[in-house]
């Protein structure tokens, strides 16, 4: 690959790592520092590609790498694209953590056939002294097992649905119940971990509804059964649309945080540490 543009920020360690990798691989690129001479260029680029660039509470995450056909943001997603092109799509996204932490690593998100390349990029991140947050929803448990076996995971996070059918409908990927249960067992072995269930909209009979308290209770019960513990860290989360107009919601009104209290109280029958996310 050649002909890249790297949007960076003065003093950005992650930008330095990505540029160092490109230099080592002999990749040509033009750097535009958004805090210096590249500020105007970045503003134009951002305005033209706003929907493809994640902006978190602390602003835009750098670096951003583009070759004119694709845009990748964050150290993990940039390295993945530079290493293997689109083969690793789904495994990495822009992160929200800073300093020594990197998240946006999705063990369940990509093609398992590219698993070895996924592992190679995670090793590269770990080799740069980052602490890694890896998430899953139950797909690709073999990859998660390899990550844990190599001590590449500092924190594991799993989005839990009790049944493969419900999880497949929500995540848009076919899932096996045994893979969900295997993933639960693996996550519970990480140095730090947490389970969570987001009360998402679900399409049913041509209409949208939210997950019910009973479905969240079933997820809590699954955790208790697989881990043989009722004391797992378990968070019940609000659904927050990524786009202002979210087709998944249909006619549904946003769920208020107070509504999660009923989910929490019922889930505590199986997970006594269950908490409801606050606004």
Same domain (yes/no): 161, 114: yes
Same domain (yes/no): 213, 262: yes
Same domain (yes/no): 206, 140: no
Q: What's the angle, vertex CA 240, arms to CA 236 and CA 242, rounded to 5?
A: 140
Same domain (yes/no): 184, 147: yes
Tell me the whole-structure pTM to 2 decimals: 0.94
User: Buried b / exposed e across 98-107, counting CB within 10 Å, b at 16+?
Assistant: eeeebbbbbb
Mean model confidence pLDDT for the chain: 94
Structure-block tokens of residue 16: 């330095």
**Boundary (domain end) residue, out of 52, 73, 94:** 73
Same domain (yes/no): 185, 199: no
Write down the pLDDT at residue 263. Answer: 98
Same domain (yes/no): 103, 128: yes
**Boundary (domain end) residue, out of 12, 45, 73:** 73
Of 64, 84, 87, which Cα lies nearest the Cα of 74? 64
Contact in structure between 260 and 219 (CB atoms under 8 Å): no
79 is a domain residue: no
212 is a domain residue: yes
Please give the average per-residue pLDDT across 7-31, as a whole number. Answer: 96
80 is a domain residue: no
Contact in structure between 124 and 77 (CB atoms under 8 Å): no
Same domain (yes/no): 35, 51: yes
Matching residue, tokens 């249909």: 250
* Dist. CA 154–CA 133, nearest whole Å: 6
Task: Give how many domains the chain has, as a whole number.
Answer: 3
- 253 pLDDT band (50/70/90 cuts)? confident
CATH code at position 15:
3.40.30.10
Same domain (yes/no): 261, 200: yes
- 1 pLDDT band (50/70/90 cuts)? very low
pLDDT tens track for 228-243 = 999 999 999 999 876 6
Same domain (yes/no): 95, 165: yes
Write down the pLDDT at residue 96. Answer: 87
Which class for 61: exposed (0-12), middle (13-18), buried (19 or more C-beta within 10 A)? buried
**Boundary (domain end) residue, out of 190, 206, 222:** 190
66 is a domain residue: yes
* Dist. CA 141–CA 221, nearest whole Å: 20
157 is a domain residue: yes
Matching residue, tokens 């799993």: 158
Matching residue, tokens 């530079």: 82
More confident residue, 202 or 152: 152
Residue 56 structural domain: 1-73
- 224 pLDDT band (50/70/90 cuts)? very high
Same domain (yes/no): 118, 169: yes
Checking if the pLDDT of 279 tops 80, the result is no
- 244 pLDDT band (50/70/90 cuts)? low
106 is a domain residue: yes
Write down the pLDDT at residue 254. Answer: 86
Name 207's bridge partners.
204
Same domain (yes/no): 62, 92: no
95 is a domain residue: yes
pLDDT tens track for 64-121 = 999 999 999 999 999 999 999 999 999 999 988 788 999 999 999 999 999 999 999 9
DSSP string, the chain: ---EEEEE-TT-HHHHHHHHHHHHTT--EEEEETTTTTHHHHHHHHHHSGGGS-EETTEE-S-EEE-SS-EEESHHHHHHHHHHGGGGBTTB------TTEEEEEETTTS-GGGHHHHHHHHHHHHHTT-EEEEEESSS-HHHHHHHHHTT--SEEEEE--SSHHHHHHHHTS---HHHHHHHHHHHTTSSEEEEEEE--EEEETTEEEEPPHHHHHHHHHHHHHHHS-S---EEEE----SSSS-GGGTTPPPPPGGGHHHHHHHHTTT-TT-EEPP-
245 is a domain residue: yes
Same domain (yes/no): 51, 126: no
């Amino acid at each position: 690959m050649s002909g890249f543009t790297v949007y960076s920020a003065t003093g950005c360690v992650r930008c330095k790592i990505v540029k160092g990798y490109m230099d080592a691989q002999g990749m040509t690129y033009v750097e535009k520092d958004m805090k210096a001479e590249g500020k105007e260029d970045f503003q134009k680029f951002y305005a033209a590609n706003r929907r493809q660039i994640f902006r978190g509470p602390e602003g835009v995450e750098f670096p951003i790498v583009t070759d004119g056909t694709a845009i990748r943001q964050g150290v993990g997603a940039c390295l993945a694209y530079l290493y293997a092109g689109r083969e690793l799509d789904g495994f990495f996204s822009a992160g929200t953590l800073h300093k020594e932490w990197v998240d946006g690593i999705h063990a369940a998100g990509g093609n398992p056939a590219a698993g070895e390349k996924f592992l190679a990029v995670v090793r590269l991140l770990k080799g740069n002294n980052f602490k890694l947050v890896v998430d899953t929803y139950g797909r690709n448990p073999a990859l998660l097992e390899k990550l844990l076996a190599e001590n590449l995971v500092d924190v594991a996070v799993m989005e839990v649905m009790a049944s493969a059918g419900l999880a497949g409908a929500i995540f848009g990927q076919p899932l096996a119940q045994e893979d969900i249960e295997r993933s639960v067992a693996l996550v519970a072995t990480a140095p730090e971990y947490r389970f969570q269930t987001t009360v998402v909209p679900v399409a049913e009979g041509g209409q949208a509804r939210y997950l019910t308290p009973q479905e969240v209770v079933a997820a809590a019960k699954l955790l208790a059964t697989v881990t043989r513990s009722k004391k797992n860290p378990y968070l019940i989360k609000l659904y927050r649309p990524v786009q202002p107009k979210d087709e998944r919601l249909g006619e549904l009104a946003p769920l208020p945080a107070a509504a999660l209290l009923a989910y929490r109280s019922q889930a505590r029958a199986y997970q006594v540490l269950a908490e409801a996310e606050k606004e």
